[in-house]
Chain A
Amino acid sequence: MIKIEKRNDVPMALYFFTPFIAIILTILGGGIIFYILGFNPIEALKFYFITPISNLYGLSELLLKATPLCLIAIGLSFCFKSNNWNIGAEGQLTFGAIVGGGVALLFYNQEGFYILPLVILAGAIGGMIFALIPAILKTYFNTNEILVSLMLVYVSKLLLDYLVVGPWSNPEGFNFPETRQFSDSSRMPLLFEGLRIHAGIFLALAAVMLSWFILYKTYLGFQIKVSGLSLKTAKYAGFKGKTMILVVFMISGACAGLAGVGEITGPIGQLHRMVSPDYGFTAIIVAFLGRLNPFGIIFASLVVALTYLGAETAQIFLQIPKYTGQVFQGMILFFLLASDYLLFFKVKILNLKKNELRN
């Protein structure tokens, strides 16, 4: 017979250590999968985790890929910490990209130092407004924010489809579903000649610092953490629950919107249908792998970004199917949840004798 008991004394150090266990288990699990697929596991893992970042270009691509993941996950950590399940970061990212991209298109034939800040601001506001929808519906109409935020992802994606096919499509683009290229003044400055890493990374780093400050040094952060631990306690302490819900969703939406604007003003340079390969969903894994801790999230976003790059490299050099990248992301989350379960619960296998059962 198996009995499950809650542990009361979970050491903090172990709590932050289990993500590493999850990553090690994922690497081992990946090796086994490669072996079953008929590849040399050591070689495959080398192409997966080392080759992609063995040169400057690779490192730049890693940071480029990690930037939106980190930004979104930082925003999500505010929601998740306070028990608000915002699953729609992908939609907030898309809407931010739409609003920011709209401003960039307004200035498509103009140059000026003020354009990029305007575009970035518009993107953040766009994401914020879009995140307010599930927040307001939750606080005033008691709707389920998981459903609302998730469904809004499709709304924003369809809106983007409509805009790039219809009113915003490039007049010289033969009706192809994409807008004009943005002017250079709407583009994120590149940090190094020849590499794609751009100034958006500073937005991510600023978000990390700011979120650490808010979460650990302010009254709002205290409210968020208490609400996450126990809603009843928060109510008893007299916290204004509704305002807090609105604020965390706004922060989360603004971060996702910034990520969207970073993509379109950074590597993409225009609006089209593929603004994000589901960064908003992958960032949920990043947020949990990073333990909802700002610095943990930096680390987690780099690890998850590497699974994308590794999948490409492994396919180029060994022709390993590219979907192993998604398998890796799935495994990381699975092993993390599994080790969390074992961390918080004791599994006892009871050796009962017949007469004990009878009692």
Chain B
Amino acid sequence: MYKNFFRYLISAIFLLGFSVNSNADFKVGFVYVGPTGDHGWTFQHHEGRNAVEAAGIKTTFVESVPEGADAERVIRQLAQSGHDLIFTTSFGYMDPTNKVAKDFPNVKFEHATGYKREHSNVSTYSARFYEGRTLLGHIAGKMTKTNTIGYIASFPIPEVIRGINAMTLAAQKVNPNIKTKIVWVFTWYDPGKEAEAAQALIDQGADVIMQHTDSTAPVQTAEKAGVWSFGQASDMQRFAPKSILTSIIDDWAPYYVERAIAARDGKWNQQDTWHGLKEGMVAMGPYNSAMGADLVKEVEQLQKDLASGKVHSFTGPIYDQKGNILVAEGKVADDGMLAGMSVYVKGVEGDIPK
């Protein structure tokens, strides 16, 4: 008798515990790879989180989570402690995210920049950063005096190679003599290494410096050396006001707010999102007046055309370094080709590290 009573009581408590999980308790968790104050990648994700919070949804974040064995525990803890939607904002969280998603079918997961969606509650999302690179290439091609563009690259993954190629193609269009020199630093964030790489490129004659890394060290090095540069991930203008021509800004806020509201209202579906200038996930910082009014106008028009789809970053004819045709004249590269891009286009110097 008593035994049964307790059994009912316990199950009632459990049921109660699960059923109060209504809209008011809806919570979103974020896992960051860096500190919120990196002024680059993580900073922008954190801005996105702030926007979700401003939309009236409770959020939690954990910063500087190493991409090794610890990631799975942090993601699992967020899932266990009542978070309904979890954004994991670095590539290295791909397998841990999918592992935890398997055990928490009622929690939604969003993994940035990955390609695995092993369970129906995992979505992936990334931005078409290469559209911003096209604008950078156009500006760099016009601004360089030495016809040499220096590029600080992180890892030879398709996303980074895509950026190098998009930039080089756009620069060649306005200046056929362009050469792109690349230094691979094999890190996303290491101010010391990034500064050294910037200096090495400047010493080799580059008078425009571009980075696919997250610290502000390259733009600061460029400012000191008196060469041009571009901000990465967030608006870095205040770190090098003279040198920065513009910045590529990752604006995750609209996407995060949209997905959080969808999940709260039960309208969340699995998807693979790849947004660009059109949707605003890629945005540009203010253009430096040193570019001149004409160039600013040109670039703003190109930005509009890229957003509307009138111009595509990868429009044929595109050749690889050996002169083989990659994309035929009049054609544009499809998303499948972009997603797996692993060769340089003509005009890029050196080999992809293997």
Contact = CB atoms under 8 A, between A and B. Distances in A.
A263 B68 CA distance: 9
A61 interface: yes
A175 B155 contact: yes
A225 interface: no
Interface in B45-90: 60-70, 72-74, 76-78, 80-81
B316 interface: no
A312 B62 contact: yes
B94 to A, nearest CB: 9
Interface in A319-336: 319, 321-323
A338 B249 CA distance: 48
Contacts of B73: 61, 196, 309, 312
B68 A268 contact: yes
Given A165-B156, A267-B72, A275-B68, A315 B63 contact: yes
Contact of A319 (B60, B66, B95, B186): B60
A274 B64 contact: no
A174 interface: yes
Given A161-B186, A272-B68, A312-B73, A177 B155 contact: yes
A156 B76 CA distance: 31
Contact of A268 (B35, B69, B74, B155): B69
Contact of A274 (B62, B72, B92, B95): B92
A175 B72 contact: no
Interface residues on A, range: 35 or more
Nearest to A274: B68
Interface string A155-189: 00000010001110000001111000000000000
B285 interface: no
A238 interface: no
A277 B353 contact: no
A174 B340 CA distance: 7
A277 B64 CA distance: 11
A316 interface: yes
B115 interface: yes
A200 to B, nearest CB: 11
Nearest to A325: B64
A261 to B, nearest CB: 13
A313 interface: yes
A165 B60 contact: no
Contact of B62 (A64, A176, A263, A322): A322
B157 interface: yes
A317 interface: yes
A276 interface: yes
A312 B68 contact: no
A271 to B, nearest CB: 11
A175 B67 contact: no
Given A165-B353, A322-B64, A323-B64, A174 B69 contact: no
Contacts of A266: 69
Interface in A300-359: 308-309, 312-313, 315-317, 319, 321-323
B158 interface: yes
Contacts of A319: 60-61
Contacts of B95: 269
Contact of B157 (A174, A272, A276): A174
Contacts of B80: 57
B342 interface: yes
A319 B60 CA distance: 7
A274 B63 contact: no
A177 B91 CA distance: 10
A175 B157 contact: yes
B354 A166 contact: yes
Given A175-B342, A177-B155, A316 B77 contact: yes
Contacts of A269: 95
B81 A316 contact: yes
Contact of B77 (A176, A177, A313): A313
Most chain A CB neighbours (cut-off 10 Å) among B60, B69, B342: B69
B69 A165 contact: no
A272 B353 contact: no
B68 A176 contact: no
Contacts of A174: 115, 157-158, 339-340, 342
B70 A277 contact: yes
A274 to B, nearest CB: 4
B7 to A, nearest CB: 22
Contacts of A165: 155-156, 186, 353
Contacts of A161: 186
B81 A176 contact: no
Nearest to A314: B62
Interface string A26-44: 0000000000000000000
B72 A272 contact: no
A188 B115 CA distance: 27
A140 B73 CA distance: 45
A196 B69 CA distance: 10
Contacts of A315: 61-63
Contacts of B61: 315, 319
Contacts of B353: 165-166
Most chain A CB neighbours (cut-off 10 Å) among B67, B73, B91: B73
Given A174-B158, A175-B156, A175-B157, A312 B66 contact: no
B91 A176 contact: yes
Given A166-B354, A263-B68, A315-B61, 7 more contacts: A174-B115, A175-B158, A316-B29, A316-B60, A319-B61, A321-B63, A323-B35
Interface of B: 29, 35, 60-70, 72-74, 76-78, 80-81, 91-92, 95, 103, 115, 155-158, 186, 339-340, 342, 353-354
Instruction: Give me the 4 closest cross-chain CB pairs, A-B, nearest first.
Output: A274-B68, A267-B69, A277-B66, A274-B67
19 contacts: A64-B69, A166-B353, A167-B354, A174-B157, A174-B158, A175-B155, A266-B69, A267-B68, A268-B69, A272-B67, A272-B92, A274-B92, A312-B73, A315-B61, A315-B63, A316-B74, A316-B77, A316-B78, A322-B62
